[in-house]
Amino acid sequence: MAFRKLVGSYKDYTLSTHVIEAGYLAVDVDTGSLRIGDGVTAGGTEVGGGSANSLGDLSAIGSTLSAPSNADMTLQTSGTGSVIINDTFQIGSGAGVTTILDEDDLSSNSATALATQQSIKAYVDSQDHAQIGDLSIVGSTIGSPSNADLTLTSSNGNVVIEGIRIAGTTLSTEDSSPGIEIAGNLIPSQNGVFQLGSSTRRWQTVYVAAETIDLGGATISSDGSGELTIAATGATLPTGSKVGLNGISLTGATDGTAIRPVQTVGIFVSDGSTALTDAQILATTASLSLEFNATVEDVPVYTDAGQTFTLANGTALEASGASGITLFQF
């Protein structure tokens, strides 16, 4: 192996302008750096020594290896080699790390060891629940401690649970659903205490099944037809209403006949343009309704109702002129 023996001599040259002979080494007495000449470059090329050594664009000062400002520092091996750090490595002022462990149960519980990704995943997968404060999460269930409330709060917002919005004491739908469905009975916690609606907040329409409405033990049922209207002037019942098994007598619709029981008779008219049977005609709405007297009396028609009926001779029919029983009135 060829070598060149170095012979030391002191030359009082200006390094920045002096060309060092090719292959010769020189020491900068001001910085302590070692420089090699190529016979062309003034001052030669620095190869090391002093307080700051250069390795490419890296600098080594004492035991500190630094990259240029804002540049990355890459440690790379050749082939399948590994970057081995003996003892401890530390990032900033954080804890020193001495090893990386592959333990599925994390049993070492070390403050100076890191865990592999596989170890972390295996450990998390092996847990059947997680803890958040004093809440427990098992699968998709969030549980609070025994007998403790579970409170969901937001900062000036609302709690939204998949289509349902809870804002204070208001429960509403969050999506386009027409309402909130209740799959079960809606039962108050106390009997005869709570209200459904109020005097100023009333439900618009109540839809219930035809079977029964129970009002304090009294029941109301329906077969799904008919209409009952209640007003301050009285209740309007469907035609054919009964009291028990007995039908309810009707009175006249005018002021003059309102005090008398009547029988309403429908008049059905057909112009003959359609071939309808009697049953088909009677199934339609009557063209005209006439009120016939529902009792047998000796009071002439109209007179008891305070109305006037003019006879063919031009005289008015009067009650004093009646004789016998009136069989027909309308």
Q: Do 109 and 93 touch, CB atoms closer than 8 A?
A: no
In a domain, 2, yes or no: no
In a domain, 126, yes or no: no
What's the order of all strands across the beta sheet hosting 130-132?
A: 130-132, 135-138, 141-143
pLDDT at 60: 72
Sign, CA torsion 34/37/40/42: positive
pLDDT at 299: 63
Given 27, 44, 62, the domain boundary residue is 62
In a domain, 211, yes or no: no
In a domain, 326, yes or no: no
Tokens of 155: 């900062």
| Number of domains comprising the chain | 2
Round to whole Å and give the CA distance between 299 and 305: 10
Range of the domain at 29: 11-62
10-residue mean pLDDT profile of the chain (330 residues): values are 61 82 80 80 74 64 81 86 86 88 90 91 78 79 85 81 81 82 88 90 85 83 83 85 82 73 80 79 82 69 65 74 53
| DSSP-derived 3-state class of residue 62 | coil
In a domain, 236, yes or no: no
User: How far lies 256's CA from each of 73, 87, 126, 299, 301, in Å?
Assistant: 111, 116, 91, 14, 12
In a domain, 146, yes or no: no
pLDDT at 200: 92
Q: Do 164 and 170 touch, CB atoms closer than 8 A?
A: no
pTM above 0.85?
A: no
pLDDT at 145: 86
In a domain, 256, yes or no: yes
Round to whole Å and give the CA distance between 314 and 221: 55
Element housing 282 (H / E): helix 278-282
pLDDT at 190: 92
Picking from 47, 48, 52, the residue whose alpha carbon sits closest to that of residue 63 is 52
In a domain, 155, yes or no: no
